[in-house]
Amino acid sequence: MNNFYPYIPEFVSVSDLQRNYPLLLKNLRTSKKPLLILKKNDLEAVIITPDLYRLLVEKAREYEENEALLAIRTYKKEKKEKKLKKMKSVKELFS
């Protein structure tokens, strides 16, 4: 997998965001670094560029598709090897 997040995000406080919103957004667009918003030293929110958001959504979709394909391959293999077990209830999954 490519390293699509090669930079350290910028941290700002909620009050800095309130005071300097236009400048911080301008810097976000220029640097393309996520902006982590802290409130009393706890992470409150994250602002990212639309491009990074789209990339993260695409990576999540690819991961989910790969997991689904793996589950299908595992099912087919176990079915072929007659390793599947018929269950009488959902409870058996957790016992």
Domain count for the chain: 2
Q: DSSP alpha helices (H): ranges in 32-88?
A: 50-80
User: Are residue 16 and residue 36 in the same domain, yes or no?
Assistant: yes
Does 53 fall in a domain? yes
Question: What are the tokens at 71?
Answer: 């589950």
Does 54 fall in a domain? yes
Q: What is the pLDDT of residues 41-83, one digit of tens each?
A: 999 999 999 999 999 999 999 999 999 999 999 999 999 998 8
Does 90 fall in a domain? no
User: Are residue 64 and residue 54 in the same domain, yes or no?
Assistant: yes
Give residue 1's pLDDT: 43
Q: Rounded to whole angstroms, what are the CA distances from 19 to 23, 30, 32, 50?
A: 9, 19, 21, 23
**pTM of structure:** 0.69
- Work out the end-to-end distance of the chain between its first and last CA atoms, rounded to an integer number of angstroms: 36
Does 73 fall in a domain? yes
**At which residue do the structure tokens 């990576």 appear?**
59
Which residues span the domain enclosing 27?
7-48
User: Are residue 11 and residue 33 in the same domain, yes or no?
Assistant: yes
What integer best gives the mean pLDDT of the chain? 90
Question: Under a CB-based contact definition with an 8 Å cutoff, are residues 42 and 68 in contact?
Answer: no
